[in-house]
Amino acid sequence: MSRVCFTLQVDPSRLEEYRARHAAVWPEMLAALRDAGWRDYTLHLREDGLLVGVLVTDGFAAAQAAMERTDVNRRWQAEMAHFFPQLADGRADRGMHVLDKVFNLEAHLALRLPNISSVQLKRRVGIRGGRRRVGLVGVCRGGRFVPDL
């Protein structure tokens, strides 16, 4: 399971309308996201239109592919396209800029605090942008990180 963070740019002249649309997301769209593996999904909007999305999923590419196969997502993307004029096809689901994680508090605390008894650290291995990404893999025991080789 991994947490994914992405950005998009919403047309700054349409922020209130964008907020209103997300206050009333179609029930079938909510169900499709859930069924496709999008969990703990949140959107955060800055006053200049910067949109930051965060979700937890077992596999982002698979979750995106599952949504791509749904009719409700095609309809939602078509109705939302005018909020993203800078995207060639207006499809926000295809224009997400995924960010690299550079810090995780729990992982750092597990490595540095001597009073942590046993925290299982998650495996983070994947390919993104043609580069292999490997994160912390192992167990923290007694405040010391033990690599899982």
Pairing of strands 125-128, 50-57: unpaired
Q: Kindly list the domain boundaries of the chain, sorted by start residue.
A: 2-98, 105-147
Choosing among 3.30.70.100, 3.40.50.300, 3.30.465.10, 3.40.50.720, the CATH entry for 2-98 is 3.30.70.100
Q: Is residue 58 within 8 Å of 37, Cβ to Cβ?
A: yes
SS3 annotation, 31-71: HHHHHCCCEEEEEEECCCCEEEEEEEECCHHHHHHHHHCCH
The predicted structure's pLDDT at residue 114: 57
Instruction: Count CB atoms within 10 A of the CB of residue 60.
Output: 20
- Average pLDDT for runs of 10 along the chain of length 149: 96 98 98 98 98 97 97 97 94 95 88 57 48 52 53
Model pTM above 0.85: no
The predicted structure's pLDDT at residue 118: 46
Biggest CA-to-CA distance, the chain = 53
The predicted structure's pLDDT at residue 147: 54
Q: CB-side exposure of 29: number of CA atoms within 13 Å?
A: 15
Burial (0-12, 13-18, 19+ Cβ within 10 Å), 113: exposed
**Which amino acids are annotated catalytic?**
22
